[in-house]
Structure 1
C-alpha cells in the first residue's frame, strides 16, 4: 500500500518554534515530527511513502 505525507506550509501557528526550523523537522520526544509520521505509516503496513 502507498501513502503520501503532506508536509507543506509555513507552520505559522507554531511560531516562534518554526522561525528557524521547518515544522516537519521540529523535535517531539527526541525525534523530528516527520519521523513519527513515517513510523506510524510503517506500523500500519504502508510499504511505499
Structure 2
C-alpha cells in the first residue's frame, strides 16, 4: 500500500510532527518511514 506524500509549508513531516520517530505504546520507538527519521518532509517543487 502506497501512501500519498503530504507537503507542509514549514517543512516538518506531517506524520511524526517533525520528531523523526513514533513512540510505541509498549515501550521503545520506531523510525518514521515517511521522512526516514529526519523530521523533514519532501518539499513541493
**For the pair shown, which has the larger CA radius of gyration, 1 or 2?**
1
Is TM > 0.5 for Structure 1 vs Structure 2? no
- TM-score bracket relative to the smaller structure: under 0.3
TM-score, with length taken from structure 1: 0.23
Structure with the largest fraction of helix: 1
Larger RCO: 1 or 2 (CA < 8 Å, sep 6+)? 1
Structure with the largest fraction of strand: 2
TM-score, with length taken from structure 2: 0.23
